[in-house]
Chains A and B, each alone.
Chain A
Amino acid sequence: SQQGEEDPQALSIQEGENATMNCSYKTSINNLQWYRQNSGRGLVHLILIRSNEREKHSGRLRVTLDTSKKSSSLLITASRAADTASYFCATHFLLGGYNKLIFGAGTRLAVHP
């Protein structure tokens, strides 16, 4: 199965609420990245957290990484309708001496006004 798996698959909230998405993975990683994809568009990089970091902030985004549990979470605070999108985690690791970046299936977030 895939390296990165996201939970939940879909999330529906009201504006102003917080949204939390989780990502689990199987192998040791160098870093973990979160991307956003608006419907029918390309992906946009949001934030990268390295394996030796535990928490990172960027504006309304907060990412945590627990390497012992092989999991990460993305928290979007005070959500807005414009945050409606799919959010993907991507894990970076070495395999056979080559760099690999594997994407999960994503969490579809809907923020209602």
Chain B
Amino acid sequence: GAGVSQSPRYKVTKRGQDVALRCDPISGHVSLYWYRQALGQGPEFLTYFNYEAQQDKSGLPNDRFSAERPEGSISTLTIQRTEQRDSAMYRCASSSDTFETQYFGPGTRLLVL
């Protein structure tokens, strides 16, 4: 079956612009996670949803970052007033339940100029 998909795959934006990154989890997966991966590093946790409820947003770096999953399926990670330090690979993962294996999407590479 289809895996986790993310769009766009690449996003180039100018400093100060808002961006929205989309994640489409594996069908039926109730848990969804966002991670950020800097070059040469492993993914770092940002936020977690169980169905439509955002259970944990402790990894979001500041209030310019927000995420939603209004219908418990597709999720959007929004970064407002982007800064150059926001440039990274943003990865989404989903799992069938909270403690099950997380399956990752291909990521969105964000470049802020």
Q: Do A and B bind each other?
A: no
